[in-house]
Structure 1
Amino acid sequence: MPGIRHVLGLDELGIGDVKTAGGKNASLGELLRELAAVGVSVPEGFATTAEAYWEFLDANELRGLIAAQVARLRRGEPVSSVGAAVRSAILAAQLPAGLHESIRAAYRELGQRAGRRDLDVAVRSSATAEDLPNASFAGQQESFLNVSGETALLEACKRCYASLFTDRAINYREDQGFDHLSIALSVGVQRMVRSDLAGSGVLFTIDTENGFPHHVVVSAAYGLGESVVQGLVEPDEYTVFKPLLRGDTRARPITAKARGRKESKIVYSGGGERVRTEDTSGAERNSYVLDDEEILTLARWGVLIEDHYGTPMDVEWAKDGRTGELFVVQARPETVRTRQAPGSLHTYRLLESGQRLVSGIAVGDAIAAGRVCVLRGPEEIDRFEPGTVLVTTSTDPDWEPVMKRAAAIVTDHGGRTSHAAIVSRELGVPALVGAGDATRRLAPGAEVTVCCAEGETGYVYAGRLDFEERELDLAAVPETRTAVSLNLANPDAALRWWRLPADGVGLARMEFIVANHIKAHPMALLHPERLAPEDRARIAELVEGSAGGAEYFVEHLTHGAARIAASRWPDPVILRMSDFKTNEYARLIGGGPFEPAEENPMLGWRGASRYYSEGYREGFALECRAVRRVRDDIGLTNLVVMIPFCRTLREADQVIGVMAEEGLRRGENGLRVYVMGEIPANVVLAAEFAERFDGFSIGSNDLTQLLLGVDRDSAELAELFDERDPAVIASIERLVATAHANGRPVGLCGQRPSDDPDFARALVSAGIDSISVAPDSFLAVKENVLAAESEAG
């Protein structure tokens, strides 16, 4: 057919050429043409055109055959029969001579530029309706890796054409209402990046679990990228805070690094397109695939790509093990979170507890219940019962017809960028991926509850547990003069609440991060020689892959605090330094030898008194080191430090001195240091404490306990424990007045303002600057504060 351009160089294409070369190839061309100049590396290559595809169909009289097979499908014939007939006809057909020669010539030229005969290439399908804003054809067609030689390449091109009619692709077009003969296929051919010798993965320029727009989330595994995309492994996951990547900044804003299990990798098996899966080594499993510089490079590329396209992006990348170079091998718009309405917030909460059966990576933030349906492979799909919990090893596009009918999905393998995770988000079905041995531990037919509403880790509970779903209309949240901020402890859950119009975080509890993410006593990490053999072994297991116990503690605390600080940037986030009691510290791994037995830990060795003492001074140094990393290295200078249970002025001076020795000096790089107002001495000597600290945060529980001499945990004295007692209110009023007279703000963190409008009224009347509450109490507090402000006039 004269005049047809069968092949175009990728650098001749741009985003406007979807009808010519499909969404994938048009996007790659756009990257090469527009972003290579600013440092984004993309492997060169070429693409066959949509015109070439239509010529192929017409030369082999395939349009009529396809139309006849589609008619069979709509008369009730099984898709497996229809798809097999079309694919067989395509594979038996011949490429027209012009197309055949154009592909061979382009391949030879690509090999000459690379200096290699029979260059190994990646051959990818790119549909002309692919990666549209309202539909995702990703994964519907086939890709072929490590293709070498002209004969193998020509065959791979035909197999790409045939993959336009896989059963899953036919089903998807039927569901989406696309005409099968209105979509063409372009074949993209790129120089193969030898990621089999290094690693590869996916990055999103939005946090796909919660829609947080300021994160780049990078997944990485060893070997070829199919192991990540297909969910065959649990990859590493790195989170980078985007606002600190832009502009002239020395910040290194990696806010989280999670080492995946990475049990296997896909590597070359020889010539042609043959690959194999092999086990990773112990060293690989215990190491990160990427170093920090590589993580930051990919994140910066993600930001450049997002800025260019003007929308959050889904990007595949690969690292060449021969040269160490990083490449972007695919980029397309993210199609799930960007379609969701931002004006409301759905929250889920379990109302009862149950036995945890398995855990994994939570996808979404919903809860669902149902009977377990264990399927070992796609050949068992016919056994699936709608409304059950689908449990399997991993999924691929063949599973999609049943995934959309599942109450929830649980897979043994996979990470946040696996097929199961991506499709579950698109379908709005809660999922747990990377659950390890769910197919073995969950009994078929058993009633379970799948909960993804507790942070990044999701759980399968035995039985059907009661839960509630709430919808908060964010537009209806009232504005108040008094700031209302959040109490947050769990870094994994912090981003669930980023949409709340809160005024920062008034209390982030360090001890939650230590207990749930670090799990070990800091002194035990520093001095494992003082532990019993059993605890030494547990410590060794925890820190495996880290540069020692100290680095393990600092890294985990840094990333936990950074995630909370990033969730509210640039509003202030007040991190309370550790406030365990001795009995709580003793329960940490290895804690026993470092903690005394106290009759009354509530009034014992806690808070500020630990920080300068010989028994904990080294542990506090690690806490300070983590805070410095968050503020100075990562760049999250909105992090404010707060000192709890500071009894005397002398103690305040000692703590401030120790912090300075550890590089945390008030005012340096904007550092503010607050003190908890929870001891009567903090009220009586408020002016003197104000000279040493930048603000106060009232801990109403401890203040009430110490003012009234009532054990707050005593059932017998419960009627006497009242935060609205005149002595408590008078102390709050006095602290606020004195602090304001000395130019210091005062906040209060506690549950009472949400439960008690009168207490909120008393705080507003006293002139409190801010109130900090649990996220699920936020709306109630805003309403109570607004009512109090209206009364005050």
Structure 2
Amino acid sequence: MAGTDNKTGRLAIKFEHLLRGDGALVGGKNSSLGEMIQALVSKGVAVPSGFATTSQAYWLYVDHNQLREKIATLTAEWQQGHLTLAETGQTVRRLFLRGTWPPDVEEAIRAGYRELSATAGVKDLSVAVRSSATAEDLPDASFAGQQESFLNITGEGPLLDACRRCYASLFTDRAISYRQTKGFDHTSVALSIGIQRMVRSDAAGSGVMFSIDTESGFDKVVLINAAWGLGENVVQGAVNPDEYQVFKPLLGDTSLVPILEKKLGDKQIKMVYGTKDMPTRNVPTSKAERATFVLSDQEILQLGRWACTIEDHYKCPMDMEWAKDGITGELFIVQARPETVHSRRDAALMKTYKVANKGRVLIKGLSIGDAAVSGRLCLITSAKDIDKFVDNSILVTETTDPDWVPVMKRAAAIITDQGGRTSHAAIVSRELGLPAIVGTGNATYLLHSGQDVTVSCAEGTTGYVYDGISDITTQTVDLTGLPEVRTKVMLNLANPETAFRWWRLPVDGIGLARMEFVVSNAIQVHPMALVRYDTLKDDKAKEEIQS
């Protein structure tokens, strides 16, 4: 849907006046929020209200503080090797943070905030302040996580400070590096700021949702990750979240509950509201929170239906962020962008990996991708030590954020303690085409640098780290060259976990799944231990079964 020309020259625009075609004016994130409010609220999708500053406001700030030529000079010196990336980014960010507001831009932000607060009936409304670059959420460049967001901002003064920091974040080291890799001119990308009413997910939960399976691209499921508190921990991979899978074809029948799988994450921390000086903070979750799913079945199904509605409107697989208000109990979609990995993959080519002569299993986690690789581990626990990384090693760390991207590009594979399928480590690994195993829980405790291992993501949803160098073979099949046959071809699955990986094959269905694999992989309890549970004498075994 195209944007309208009468918005040109305006400095701040309410979301409900924006459309998807306004990306050059307010960036992909904000134009998508406007699109959803205009087209999908009437279909039941709830989106928090807000407004966006425009690219014109950004350029006015840049020119008011005479930054344009300075930015061009500094980035050119970095490209020529006269400055380091860190020196360049730090200098440009300092220029932005020391800048003053053009009076008309400042007044536009203040007026927009006052109106948003008045509409909500709150004097100083708590808002999320999100960056939306004019080159983000493109089909071949998501820019996800490259710029900063600030949550629980209250008051006009703190809002203007957060907006200034958003502008500065256009020149974080990771954003500069990403633009350089993708071939964007640093002086031609502007930044819009989205000021959006906060959803009180600090008192409930939030997370990320994809309208396809993130690993196989299987288009009949919705994948939802959920954790307690504000959503940054899920996005950054700081927690192991709950994971839910919903079967899309049956969502239209309200008498059914087509939830394929629910996995309980340990969710050890949650982000909640803090003080005015520190608006958010992480606190440990309670034992009850760790043992409880964030969402009820009906909430899972509601999000699944919204995912289908959003995907149907945008005509492509979608990556969405959601939040639940703990005060009202309402669910909201707070962001939606096109999925950028499987939408670019050649669906006709299927590459499979087979791992033979495996060593003992050292550790397990969630598999990202479907590849396998052998190599030497390099364990790094802090981003301050990334210069110690050995190229083409297998990176082991607790979690990653956008500052780790330069090292991730040089890795053969990635293993993390924390994170789910929608975490930063998972998303970037997919973009880079690297096998990754996330959410292992204790990889940095059990593994060490210099260790030879095999990382296998080729065996279903569980990823395995094997001791030693295994034999890895690959096979590529062009599905377009397969002839049609009159016989109905049915697929036999030894391991049901691999079902999604074979969905592109031209078969008529699954004819056999091995029950022993269902028991060992999904149920994980011997059937007779369940039959005779009341007579079990092993208290530890009974406790584990109960859990």
2:216 to 202, 206, 210: 210
Q: Which residue of 1 aligns with 2:413?
A: 408
Deviation at 1:462, TM superposition (A): 1.1
**Distance (whole Å) between structure 1 residues aligned to residue 326 and residue 490 of structure 2:** 47
Q: Say if 2:339 is the partner of 1:334.
A: yes
The residue matched to 2:363 in structure 1 has which SS? strand
Deviation at 1:523, TM superposition (A): 4.8
Q: Does 1:225 align with 2:228?
A: no
Equivalent residue in structure 2 for 1:540, among 540, 543, 547: 543
Q: Structure 2: any 5+ residue segments left out of the alignment?
A: 1-7
SS at match of 2:434: coil
State the alpha-carbon separation in 2 of the partners of residues 434 and 520 from structure 1. 22
Aligned residue number for residue 503 of structure 2: 498
> What is the identity, as a one-letter code, of the residue corresponding to 1:288?
F
Given that 1:145 and 1:273 are in contact with CA atoms closer than 8 Å, whether structure 2 keeps it comes out as no
> Quick check: 1:315–1:328 contact (8 Å CA) kept in 2?
yes
Q: How does 1:395-474 map to 2 (within 5 A)?
A: 395-474=400-479
For the structure 1 residues 525 and 170, does the alpha-carbon distance in structure 2 shift closer, same or farther, using more than 3 Å as the test?
same
CA shift at 1:272, angstroms?
A: 5.3
Is the partner of 1:520 in helix, strand or coil? coil
Question: How far is 1:398 from its partner?
Answer: 0.5
Structure 2 distance, partners of 1:412, 1:373, is 14
Q: 1:46 to 1:350 in 2, by over 3 A?
A: same
Q: Tell whether 2:77 aligns with 1:72.
A: yes
Residue in structure 2 matched with residue 143 of structure 1 by the alignment: 149
Q: What does the per-residue CA deviation read over 1:86-132, in whole Å, with 9 as the maximum and x for residues that have no partner? A: 10011101011011111111111111111111111000000001100
Aligned partner of 1:280 in structure 2 is 285
2:490 equivalent in structure 1? 485
Structure 1 pair 310–273 and aligned structure 2 pair: CA distance change class (3 A) = farther
The structural deviation recorded for 1:525 is 2.6
From 169, 189, 199, the counterpart of 1:183:
189
Q: Distance in 2 between matches of 1:496 and 1:105?
A: 52
Q: Report deviation, 1:527.
A: 4.1
Q: Distance in 2 between matches of 1:177 and 1:509?
A: 49
> In structure 2, which of residues 278, 281, 305 is the aligned counterpart of residue 300 of structure 1?
305
Q: Match of 1:245? A: 251
- CA displacement at 1:501 relative to structure 2: 1.0
Match of 2:35 among 21, 30, 33: 30
Normalising by structure 1, report the TM-score.
0.67
Residue deviations 1:145-177 (CA, integer Å, cap 9, x gap): 010111100000000000000010001111111
Task: Pick the structure with greater CA Rg.
Answer: 1
Partner SS, residue 95 of structure 2: helix
**Paired residue secondary structure (2:283):** strand
Larger RCO (alpha carbons 8 Å, 6+ apart): 2
- Deviation at 1:490? 2.3
Give unpaired runs (5+ residues) of structure 1. Answer: 545-793
- Is 1:323 matched up with 2:335? no
2:4 maps to what in 1?
A: none
How far is the alpha carbon of 1:526 from its aligned partner?
4.9
1:617-632 alignment, distance < 5 Å: none
- Pairing of 1:513-592 with structure 2 (within 5 A): 513-532=518-537, 534=538, 536-544=539-547
1:524 Cα deviation after fit: 3.1
Aligned to 1:509, which of 492, 511, 514? 514
Matches of 1:516 and 1:179, distance apart in 2: 49
Q: Work out the CA distance in 1 between the residues paired with 2:213 and 2:511.
A: 24
- Aligned-partner SS, 1:5: coil
TM-score, normalising length: structure 2: 0.97
Q: Judge conservation of contact 1:352–1:466 (CA < 8 Å) in 2.
A: yes
Distance, in Å, in 2 between the alignment partners of 1:192 and 1:528 is: 47
CA RMSD of aligned residues (A): 1.2
1:146 and 1:272 in contact (8 A); partners too: no
What is residue 120 of structure 2 aligned with on the other side? 114
* Alpha-carbon contact 2:496-2:513 (below 8 Å) kept: no
* Contact 1:216 1:299 (8 Å CA) reproduced: yes
Separation (CA, whole Å) in 1 of partners of 2:305 and 2:16: 22
State the distance in 2 between where 1:412 and 1:340 align.
28
- Aligned residue runs from structure 1 range 372-411, under 5 A: 372-411=377-416
* Cα distance between partner residues in 2 of 1:221 and 1:429: 26
**Aligned-partner Cα distance in 1 for 2:296–2:159:** 35
Question: What residue number does 2:3 align with?
Answer: none
- Corresponding position of 1:6: 11
1:267 match: secondary structure:
strand
How far 1:311 sits from its partner (Å)?
0.3
Contact 1:149 1:272 (C-alpha < 8 Å) held by counterparts: no
| Richer in strand (by share) | 2
Matched residue, 2:23: 18
Deviation sequence 1:389-445 (CA, Å, 0-9, x none) = 000000000011110111100001100000000000010000000111111211211
Which amino acid is 1:187 matched to?
I
One of 333, 354, 358 as aligned partner of 1:353: 358
Matches of 1:494 and 1:23 in 2, distance apart?
34
Deviation at 1:273, TM superposition (A): 4.8
The equivalent residue for 1:561 is: none
Q: SS state of the match for residue 483, structure 1?
A: coil
1:99 matched to 2:102: no
What is the CA-CA distance between 1:205 and the residue it aligns to?
Answer: 0.4
* SS of corresponding position for 1:525: helix
Q: Match of 1:235? A: 241
Q: What residue identity is the alignment partner of 1:85?
A: T
Q: Deviations over 1:525-547 (max 9, x none)?
A: 35422111x2x432322332xxx
Greater shift, 205-214 or 515-524, is seen at: 515-524
Q: Which of the numbers 147, 156, 159 marks the counterpart of 2:162?
A: 156
Contact 1:148 1:273 in 2 (8 A): no
Amino acid at match of 1:476: G
Amino acid at match of 1:26: S
Alpha carbons 2:16, 2:38 under 8 Å: kept: yes
Inter-partner Cα distance in structure 2 for 1:346 and 1:331: 30
Distance in 2 between residues matched to 1:440 and 1:169, nearest whole Å: 31
Q: Deviations over 1:476-514 (max 9, x none)?
A: 222222222111142321111111111211212223212
Q: Is the 8 A contact 1:349 1:469 kept in 2?
A: yes
Q: Give me the whole-angstrom Cα distance separating, in 2, the residues matched to 1:115 and 1:273.
A: 24
2:545 partner amino acid: L
| Residue 43 (structure 1) shift | 0.4
